[in-house]
Amino acid sequence: MSTPLLIQALQGQTLSRPPVWFMRQAGRYLPEYRELRAKAPDFIAFCLNPEMAAEATLQPMRRFGFDAAIVFADILLIPGALGQKVWFEAGEGPRLGALPSVQSMADKAQQAGEALKAVGQTLSLVRAELEPERALIGFAGAPWTVATYMLDGEHRTMGKGERAAARTYAYTQPEVVYGLLDVLVEATAHYLKMQQDAGAQVLKIFESWAEGLPDDLFESLVLKPHQKLVARARELGVTVPLIGFPRGSAALAERYARECDVQGVALDTACPLDVGQRVQKIKPIQGALDPLLLRAGGDALDRRVDQLMEAWGQGPWIFNLGHGILPDVPIAHVEQVLKRIGAQ
């Protein structure tokens, strides 16, 4: 059985073409997804229905033949497993209730994998249907990103672009914030271990809100929790490659690559090509096409794909977006990219 291209890239191999998958590749831009989603009573129920979530995971694989599937789930399943109320409002996004005590959440942390075993069932269903040459990715939100939602709670609408409430808590109530981060490290490590045991061959840590942090907060809220999470996951028996995604970290991505023991670093849309090249000298990279350009299409899309191929194609690299695919992206534009890089 041949090793999937994604795993070859994470092993440091430079390939004839980069393996490709897209963040949020299962989702609203696909008519078959919209039809499936309409059958679920709410988004959380959809994520925790193994048959429906497996079907959503496989839909883009059938249509496009990406080199990897990523399990259909959500980063905010962990707060629910820790006892915080989570719900999604149409057109508004996630909402969270009052933050439980850190101790009550700590008591539940080691059972997070068991509490979310439906995600493991989804992974098992997908792995059974997925071709062996295509990798299966599990994932979790990084501790700080998940904490921002948990701390902001129902006040997310105030300064949400900068996660104002959560960042303020980090300055004014550090004992609460860092206690919560430790709980999330433990819970997330168990959650990732469960996903590996269910069939995930790669695990990704999504740090969606590393953006805008001064370097001291980046170290304490992003880098150190990632280091702890990777170490704890390895203690629990996680052996598969890990991809870290410190979105918006800019030049700090180089430090992250040097100091965090992940096997790959995902880069965001704003990452300059030369920074990507420097990170790539440290470890394999992933990224970083602009989702808005994917939506726009045309010659500009071809040019940017060519620029990325020229800049990063000489080293280990996974072609991806710099953030998630948008709901109104034309399917033809996805096909355009895959043809351009030789994946179709």
Annotated binding-site residue numbers for substrate:
24-28, 74, 149, 208, 323
Q: Nearest-5° angle of CA 104, CA 113, CA 174?
A: 40
Residue 228 has a CB neighbour count (10 Å cut-off) of 18
Distance CA 31, CA 269 (A): 26
CB 24 within 8 A of CB 330: no
- CB atoms near residue 203 (< 10 Å): 23
Active-site residue (options: 28, 63, 234, 278): 28
> Catalytic annotation on 234?
no
For residue 253, the Cα-to-chain-centroid distance in whole angstroms is 16
CA distance 213 to 51: 39
Q: Which of 29, 33, 74, 178 is catalytic?
A: 74
Burial of 282 (0-12, 13-18, 19+ CB in 10 A): middle
| Single-letter amino acid, residue 334 | V
The helix/strand/coil state of 155 is: helix
Please confirm, yes or no, whether 24 is among the known catalytic residues.
yes
Q: Which of 29, 33, 149, 191 is catalytic?
A: 149
Which of these is catalytic: 24, 127, 163, 247? 24
Residue type, 343: A
Q: 37, 232, 234, 278: which one is catalytic?
A: 37
Q: State the sign of the Cα–Cα–Cα–Cα dihedral 122, 128, 131, 134.
A: positive
Binding positions are 24-28, 74, 149, 208, 323
Please answer whether residues 222 and 145 qualify as being in contact, where contact means their C-beta atoms are separated by less than 8 angstroms.
no
Task: Say whether 171 is catalytic.
Answer: no
The beta-carbon contacts of 220-223 under 8 Å, at least 24 apart in sequence, are: 220/170, 220/178, 221/144, 221/170, 221/177, 221/181, 222/142, 222/144, 222/246, 222/249, 222/256, 223/255, 223/256, 223/259, 223/260
Active site residues: 24, 28, 37, 74, 149
